[in-house]
């Protein structure tokens, strides 16, 4: 599996999680409940972004830098982190809901941008062998990150 396919699969999973969150949001009774959900999503997305950058985009630092994509990518990730953090810290239920919905909407657009604009650049720049090797390494590291998160949750 190529790195771009592995990341796209993770994007699809995250989008399904966002859909489920959208279904439960109206039933949450406090800003704290919404904030806890935002914190969970923030953590999952932080891990996703770290893996994505480590395995797909670091290999393209030079090419992305010249196309001004790299700084835009990092800025997008910082802005998404800020949006989820704001939802987590909101003082009212309605404010927290709106901020969380906005953060998920921005994340969806960010995923579309990566798949539409950056993935083709990654695939053109790296050969199939490199794409496949990075995809396998991404999957292994993602499994380890999931296991670590599960272990921390049990503590």
More confident residue, 70 or 135: 135
Model pTM score: 0.86
**Degrees to nearest 5, angle at CA 110 with 66 and 63:** 15
pLDDT at 26: 95
Cβ–Cβ contacts within 10 Å for residue 45, how many?
22
What's the whole-number mean pLDDT along residues 101-114? Answer: 95
Confidence category of residue 144, pLDDT binned at 50, 70, 90: confident
What's the rounded Cα separation, in Å, for the pair 99 and 84?
7
**Whether residue 65 has pLDDT greater than 70:** no
Q: Which range among 24-38, 52-66, 69-83, 126-140 shows the weakest confidence by mean pLDDT? A: 52-66
pLDDT at 62: 56
Q: Which range among 13-17, 68-72, 132-136, 140-144 shows the weakest confidence by mean pLDDT? A: 68-72
Q: Which of 119, 146, 143 is nearest to 5 (CA)?
A: 119
The per-residue pLDDT for range 5-54, each reduced to its tens digit, is: 999 999 999 999 999 999 999 999 999 999 999 999 999 998 888 888 88
Q: Which of 80, 83, 2, 24 is nearest to 48 (CA)?
A: 80
Q: Which range among 5-9, 93-97, 117-121 shows the weakest confidence by mean pLDDT? A: 117-121
91: tokens are 């003082």
pLDDT at 2: 92
């Amino acid at each position: 599996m190529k790195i771009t396919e592995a990341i796209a699969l993770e994007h699809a999973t995250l989008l399904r999680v966002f859909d489920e969150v959208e279904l439960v949001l109206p039933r949450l009774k406090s800003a704290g409940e919404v904030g806890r959900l935002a914190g969970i999503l923030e953590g999952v997305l932080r891990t996703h972004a770290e893996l994505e950058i480590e395995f797909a985009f670091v290999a393209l630092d030079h090419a992305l830098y010249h196309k001004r994509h790299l700084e835009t990518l990092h800025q997008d990730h910082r802005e998404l982190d800020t949006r989820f953090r704001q939802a987590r810290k909101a003082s009212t239920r309605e404010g927290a809901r709106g901020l969380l919905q906005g953060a998920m909407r921005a994340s969806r657009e960010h995923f579309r941008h990566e798949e539409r604009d950056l993935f083709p650049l990654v695939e053109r720049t790296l050969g199939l062998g490199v794409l496949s090797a990075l995809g396998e390494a991404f999957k292994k590291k993602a499994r380890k990150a999931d296991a670590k998160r599960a272990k921390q949750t049990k503590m």
